[in-house]
Homo-oligomer: A and B are copies of this chain.
Amino acid sequence: MSLHSKNFLEIRPLPVEDIELILATSESLKEVSSRDIKKVPTLRGKTIINLFYEASTRTRTSFEIAGKRMSADVINISASSSSVTKGESLKDTAKNLQALSPDIIVIRHPAPGAARQLARTLDCSIINAGDGAHEHPTQAMLDIMTIKEKKGYIKGLNVAIIGDITHSRVARSDIWALTKLGAKVTVVGPKTLIPPYIEKLGINVSYELAEIIPSADVIIMLRIQKERHRNGFFPSLREYSKLFGLNLTKLKSAKADLLIMHPGPVNRGIELDPEVADGPYSVILEQVSNGLAVRMSLMYLLLGGITI
């Protein structure tokens, strides 16, 4: 079995069978990182370029370790976004990189559609590691992998995504992935941070955190961008936290087997109280481990699924 595309750009058009293939492969490759010798020779002689136009130590490190555990050569390039203000420039950079015969380029870029543009230009495989507010598809894969690992299934689960839905690529990718797999998704946040008509994606909207806690099987908290409140999206961090942050008091009505997730890094005391971030509901660190497995499996599948 193999994926339907040589690229991994977006969850939106991804067939459910591709999602399931990635999940199954990730579950199997996760074991590599618990071995004494954490390395398989699968991608020896392959070149993976991490092309990051936004600083993200965590995501870059996850892809770098993923590539190295598969025995690929990994090259990190961190470009200041100032040098790529024009699309043409990204295309030029891309063509120059392609002339070095990489097998995969992992790109993070502030412009929505940057990964897709790269894929149109280049023959090698492209993995989208986040493109503006558009999609962050490996995050969605690790999120559903974590839910499936803990719950055994996705279909029919009540999943709430809480925070700044409008500006979140994580929310967008999660919504596509979760609805494809049959979860019942509710987005929760201040009206200023939820796009109008988002219900048309087949999801529910709530402006009241208390309303969704009792029925939620999974809560995905989004990271709040502190600078947004300067732009008037919410009155203050304190106010935001009071209304949409999670603490143990608010969780009294929660199910005993609730999962709390967060893409990291957590603003402690804002989205999540430390007792919640480190508490029994939290699966945040499992998400990080699963992210590594998802990235290993994507590299493996995109390069043709050579027998491990």
Q: Interface of A with B (CB < 8 Å)?
A: 33-39, 44-47, 49, 57-58, 61-62, 64-65, 68-69, 73, 75, 77, 79, 88, 92-93, 95-103, 264-266, 268, 274, 285-286, 288-289, 292
Contact call B37/A45, Cβ cutoff below 8 A: yes
Partner of A285, one of B57, B61, B77, B99: B99
Contact call A292/B100, Cβ cutoff below 8 A: yes
Contact call A47/B73, Cβ cutoff below 8 A: no
Nearest B residue to A289 by beta-carbon distance?
A: B99
C-alpha gap A100/B98 in the complex (Å): 29
Contact call B57/A46, Cβ cutoff below 8 A: no
Contact call A73/B69, Cβ cutoff below 8 A: yes
The 4 closest A-B pairs by CB, nearest first: A37-B45, A99-B288, A39-B45, A68-B73
Contact call A285/B96, Cβ cutoff below 8 A: yes
- List of B residues within 8 angstroms of A62 by Cβ: 100
Contact call B92/A266, Cβ cutoff below 8 A: yes
- List of B residues within 8 angstroms of A88 by Cβ: 268, 274
- List of B residues within 8 angstroms of A96 by Cβ: 58, 264-265, 285, 288
Given known contacts A92-B266, A100-B289, what 5 new A-B pairs fall within 8 Å (CB)?
A: A38-B47, A61-B75, A92-B268, A96-B285, A99-B289
What's the minimum C-beta distance from A149 to chain B, rounded to whole angstroms? 14
Contact call A47/B35, Cβ cutoff below 8 A: no
C-alpha gap A289/B96 in the complex (Å): 9
**A92-B61 CB under 8 A given contacts A37-B44, A100-B289, A101-B33:** no
C-alpha gap A44/B35 in the complex (Å): 12
- List of B residues within 8 angstroms of A61 by Cβ: 49, 75, 77, 97, 100
Partner of A39, one of B34, B36, B73, B264: B73
- List of B residues within 8 angstroms of A292 by Cβ: 99-101
Nearest B residue to A278 by beta-carbon distance?
A: B95
C-alpha gap A99/B65 in the complex (Å): 12
What's the minimum C-beta distance from A146 to chain B, rounded to whole angstroms? 11
- List of B residues within 8 angstroms of A64 by Cβ: 75
C-alpha gap A101/B265 in the complex (Å): 18
Contact call A75/B79, Cβ cutoff below 8 A: no
- List of B residues within 8 angstroms of A44 by Cβ: 37, 39
C-alpha gap A285/B91 in the complex (Å): 13
C-alpha gap A92/B264 in the complex (Å): 10
C-alpha gap A68/B102 in the complex (Å): 12
C-alpha gap A101/B61 in the complex (Å): 12
What's the minimum C-beta distance from A129 to chain B, rounded to whole angstroms? 16
Contact call A36/B45, Cβ cutoff below 8 A: yes
C-alpha gap A45/B71 in the complex (Å): 9
C-alpha gap A45/B97 in the complex (Å): 26
Contact call B34/A101, Cβ cutoff below 8 A: yes
Partner of A65, one of B58, B100, B266: B100
- List of B residues within 8 angstroms of A77 by Cβ: 57, 61
